[in-house]
Amino acid sequence: MSKHLRHPLGRAVLVLLGAYVLIEFGIAYLPPLFGIPSGPVPDTVLFQYLGTVVVGILIWVSDNETRWSEFKAPLHKVMVEPEKKRARLALAVIIPALVGLMTFNQVKPSMAAPATLRSIHPAPPGQIDFKGETMELAGLENPLRATGSMEEHYESGREIYVKNCMACHGDGLAGRGHYALGFNPGPASFQDVGTIAQLTESYVFWRVAKGGPGLPNEGAPWNSAMPSWEDFLTEEEIWSVIIFMYEQAGHEPRTWEEEGEH
């Protein structure tokens, strides 16, 4: 072993390995011991530094004629002499395989979600087209609050919620339904003060009726899994599920007077 380490090729490999360990781990872990902040070394920097070390090693081995021929001898043997055929074949497989592996690692698609900013509550349209009829959103109140019994509206809203919304928005209305983990952005939590609690009922109506496909372009991409319920629910059914959501989550809808304040 010590014979190999005294050989110029052995030393060159040793210096290269030492340099790798020092750059990859030394830079990240040594300065913090002295209270100096540091962090992982980017691969591009690592390769640049290692490149410099390789140049230094080549200068050292070629600086002296005997050391240079000693350094080259094993390489020459493996690449030319007939009795080293096996080693040569092995290298001819291993080196391209390593390069292939590195290339694969670089180009393989990453599963990480892209960092995108989206505006959670884009401005609603002034009016929408609901099942062929134009509906003014501005100033619109939930008509069910003025007719019939709130208990009945709540009951029918609850049924609609359980059948249609629970799988995503969850039984606790906290956005933790069975399907929730599959979606990014995840289903809204109606318990959260940042959702229905700060919206008017007409806004919620618009979101329920038009869903993800009805979101305006600002802040795109939306990737919202929220279905457009106008294809499945009547106008009254949507108003009643909205009553259920506010009652159940214990929030008051934002009023149009508040809306005018800002």
- Residues near ligand HEC (CB under 6 A) are 121, 164-165, 167-169, 179, 183, 185-188, 195-196, 204, 207-208, 212, 224-227, 229, 241
Q: Measured from the CB of residue 122, what is the shortest distance to ligand HEC in angstroms?
A: 9
Q: For residues 71 and 190, which CB has a smaller minimum distance to ligand HEC in the complex?
A: 190
Q: Measured from the CB of residue 127, what is the shortest distance to ligand HEC in angstroms?
A: 19
Neighbouring C-beta atoms of residue 91, cutoff 10 Å: 13
Q: For residues 68 and 154, which CB has a smaller minimum distance to ligand HEC in the complex?
A: 154
Q: Measured from the CB of residue 123, what is the shortest distance to ligand HEC in angstroms?
A: 12
In Å, how far are 15, 38, 41, 52, 162 from 31, measured between CA atoms? Answer: 22, 6, 13, 22, 57
Q: For residues 88 and 118, which CB has a smaller minimum distance to ligand HEC in the complex?
A: 118
Q: For residues 53 and 191, which CB has a smaller minimum distance to ligand HEC in the complex?
A: 191
Q: Measured from the CB of residue 202, what is the shortest distance to ligand HEC in angstroms?
A: 12
d(CA 56, CA 18): 14
d(CA 2, CA 12): 14
d(CA 81, CA 21): 34
Q: For residues 8 and 177, which CB has a smaller minimum distance to ligand HEC in the complex?
A: 177
d(CA 193, CA 209): 22
Q: Measured from the CB of residue 166, what is the shortest distance to ligand HEC in angstroms?
A: 8
Neighbouring C-beta atoms of residue 177, cutoff 10 Å: 20
Neighbouring C-beta atoms of residue 103, cutoff 10 Å: 10
